[in-house]
């Protein structure tokens, strides 16, 4: 991919904005266990980051997909994943279905303020008894005249504590399995909707994570995104954006981690020279860099397919699987090469080690990616060109 001057200028602006508005506050926000999303997202909105590819009629930029790639890579360069994940949820996980399938009224009411950074949103799919198996969700919306009455529970919901609304996956009929689900925009201040717990986690400390309870929550039927009963299919489509944007971010994170580790080893004296003089360390870092670069080029091939409008399910599943496994090795190696300092709680290495573990679990675990991919392998269509 040859980035244009416009792309390059955009990259510099994002990097500068994050260096000014996010980076200096990360340690404090991590300590506090949250960050002021309403304040910070307004800064993101000034650069159009919350609606890069969305319709200008709703405040979007109408930009090409490469702007999303650049934004995610730049967020990945931050020395924490809490803010990047919160950003990604709003820009690439909770709003794509609304933009693609929502009514004009729904988009004006909820998408436009999300793009403007005035409202925070989340994606609520996972339940206490159903995560990997999305078809197992039980939160139920019963029709009551012009409203849905929603009862059930969702858990591990990023941005769910500070959020103003959520893209909620619910059952709207008794069909069971993949059928009879719908996506509904649920305002967080609806009576009966409560944050039952704000969850503490291994990593991503400054990103808030909620457990939500729904007790006959009344939401207008007109808040349904797209067709009633097509929620599962729409959510599967939305997962593709979620997964590939997480990969772009991971590439930014891994490149930065390797660069920072090389800087550290180049300064650290040992055995009459610097640690970087060890060929063993050089080779291991070179090998990881080679794998990160290969993943990056693979992710760029996914971006090209997205631009061409092709089905990227197989490619994004492969990229997400590879990224989840690779980032664990990169984080482990970078921490190891920082020695005792890398293990200290205040260093970026230990935070990276903790934060990066999520990639192999969230948005579809490694094994779920393998489940998707194995269908193509067994069906002998794995090596078919997605554009054919
Ligand atoms: C920090 C954090 C933030 C999150 N944010 C959100 C959010 O914003 N919105 C949201 O809806 N969800 C969110 N999640 C939930 C996340 O998507 C789920 O945790 C994930 O999909 C796995 O579901 P589960 O936890 O129920 O694990 P389970 O489904 O119980 O699976 C447990 C493990 O079993 C294995 N496994 C599962 N299925 C298979 C299979 N078919 N074959 C072989 N092995 C398998 C995997 O190793 C998996 O990790 C978040 C999770 C975390 C930890």
- pLDDT tens-digit profile of 10-55? 999 999 999 999 999 999 999 999 999 999 999 999 999 999 999 9
Convert the pLDDT of each residue in 178-204 to its tens digit.
999 999 999 999 999 999 999 999 999
DSSP strand E in the chain: where? Answer: 121-124, 140-144, 147-158, 165-171, 181-187, 193-198, 209-220, 224-225, 269-270, 273-274
Residue 387 clears pLDDT 90, i.e. is over it: no
Count of CA atoms in the C-beta half-sphere (13 A) of 275: 15
Ligand 1 centroid from CA 132, angstroms:
5
Taking the centre of ligand 1 as the mean of its atom positions, its distance from the CA of residue 239, in whole angstroms, is 13
Radius of gyration of the chain (CA): 21
User: What mean pLDDT is predicted for residues 116-141?
Assistant: 98
CA–CA separation, 369 and 318 (whole Å): 7
Residue 137 near ligand 1, beta carbon < 6 Å: no
Homologous superfamily assigned to 122-227: Butyryl-CoA Dehydrogenase, subunit A, domain 2 (2.40.110.10)
8-state DSSP, 201? -
Segment 279-300 shows an average pLDDT of 98
Give the contacts of 359 (CB within 8 A, at least 6 positions apart): 246, 250, 320, 323, 324, 327, 328
Q: Which residues are catalytic?
A: 242
Residue 287 CB contacts under 8 Å (≥ 6 apart), including other chains? none
What is the whole-number distance in angstroms between the Cα of residue 103 and the centre of ligand 1? 30
Of ligand 1's listed atoms, the one at least distance from the Cα of 125 is 11
Say if 5-120 and 233-379 have the same CATH topology. no
Helix (H, G, I), strand (E, B) or coil at 212: strand
CA 47 to chain centre: 19
- Closest atom of ligand 1 relative to the 133 alpha carbon: 29
CB atoms within 10 A of CB 127: 20
Domains in the chain: boundaries: 5-120, 122-227, 233-379
Report the distance separating Cα 248 and Cα 72, nearest Å: 6
Is residue 344 over pLDDT 80?
Answer: yes
- DSSP state, residue 51: S
pLDDT cut 90: percent of the chain above it: 96
DSSP 357: G
pLDDT digits (tens, 9 = 90+) for 362-380: 999 999 999 999 999 999 8
Ligand 1, residues 88, 361, 370: which to mutate, most atoms within 8 A of Cβ?
A: 361
Choose the residue to mutate in 120, 156, 241 for probing ligand 1, maximizing ligand atoms within 8 Å of C-beta: 156
pTM over 0.95: yes
**Looking at domain 5-120, which CATH architecture does it have?**
Orthogonal Bundle (1.10)
- Asked if 324 contacts 359 with a C-beta cutoff of 8 angstroms, the reply is yes
More confident residue, 65 or 2: 65
Q: How distant, in Å, are the alpha carbons of 17, 56, 272, 320, 369 from that of 243? A: 25, 25, 46, 6, 10
Residue identified by tokens 């994606």 is 123
pLDDT confidence of residue 1: 74
Residue nearest to atom 43 of ligand 1 (CA): 367
- How far does residue 129's CA lie from ligand 1's centre (Å)? 10
Label each residue of 252-278 as H, E or C: HHHHHHHHHHHHHHHHCEECCEEHHHC
Query: What local confidence, expressed as pLDDT, does residue 221 receive?
Result: 98
pLDDT in tens, 212-228: 999 999 999 999 999 99
Q: How far is the CA of 277 from the centre of ligand 1 (A)?
A: 42
> In this structure, which topology does domain 233-379 adopt according to CATH?
Butyryl-CoA Dehydrogenase, subunit A; domain 3 (1.20.140)
Mean pLDDT of the chain: 97
Q: Is 89 in the pocket of ligand 1 (CB under 6 A)?
A: yes
Residues 53-109 have pLDDT tens digits of 999 999 999 999 999 999 999 999 999 999 999 999 999 999 999 999 999 999 999
What's the rounded Cα separation, in Å, for the pair 184 and 269?
58
Give me the pLDDT at residue 184, please.
98
Q: Whose CA is nearest to atom 24 of ligand 1?
A: 131
User: Is the pLDDT score of 388 beyond 90?
Assistant: no
């Amino acid at each position: 991919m040859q980035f244009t001057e416009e792309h390059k200028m955009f990259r510099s602006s994002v990097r500068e904005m994050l260096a000014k508005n996010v980076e200096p506050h990360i340690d404090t926000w991590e300590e506090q266990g949250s960050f002021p999303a309403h304040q910070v997202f307004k800064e993101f909105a000034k650069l159009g980051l919350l609606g890069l590819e969305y319709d200008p009629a709703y405040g979007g930029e109408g930009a090409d997909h490469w702007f999303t790639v650049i934004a995610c890579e730049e967020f990945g360069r931050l020395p924490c994943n809490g803010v990047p994940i919160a950003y990604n949820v709003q820009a690439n996980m909770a709003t794509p279905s609304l933009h693609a399938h929502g009514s004009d009224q729904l988009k004006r009411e909820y998408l436009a303020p999300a793009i403007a950074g005035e409202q925070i949103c989340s994606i609520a799919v996972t339940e206490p008894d159903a995560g990997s198996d999305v078809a197992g969700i039980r939160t139920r919306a019963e029709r009551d005249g012009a409203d849905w009455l929603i009862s059930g529970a969702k858990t591990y919901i990023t941005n769910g504590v500070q959020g103003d609304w959520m893209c909620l996956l619910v059952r709207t009929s008794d069909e069971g399995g993949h059928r009879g689900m719908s996506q509904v925009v649920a305002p967080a201040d609806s009576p009966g909707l409560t944050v039952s717990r704000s969850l503490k986690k291994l990593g991503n400390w400054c990103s808030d994570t909620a457990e939500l309870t729904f007790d006959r929550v009344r939401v207008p039927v007109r808040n349904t995104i797209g067709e009633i009963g097509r929620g599962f299919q729409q959510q599967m489509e939305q997962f593709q954006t979620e997964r590939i944007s997480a990969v772009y971010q991971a590439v930014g994170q891994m490149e930065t981690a390797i660069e920072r580790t090389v800087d550290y080893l180049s300064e650290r004296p040992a055995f009459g020279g610097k640690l970087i003089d060890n060929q063993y360390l050089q080779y291991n870092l070179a090998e990881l860099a080679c794998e990160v670069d290969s993943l990056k080029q693979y992710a760029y091939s996914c971006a090209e397919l997205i631009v061409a409008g092709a089905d990227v399910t197989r490619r994004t599943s492969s990229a997400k699987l590879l990224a989840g496994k690779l980032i664990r090795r990169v984080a482990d190696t970078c921490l190891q090469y920082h020695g005792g300092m890398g293990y200290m709680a205040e260093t970026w290495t230990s935070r990276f080690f903790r934060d990066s573990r999520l990639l192999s679990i969230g948005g579809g675990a490694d094994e779920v990616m393998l489940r998707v991919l194995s269908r193509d392998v067994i069906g002998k269509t794995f090596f078919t060109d997605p554009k054919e």
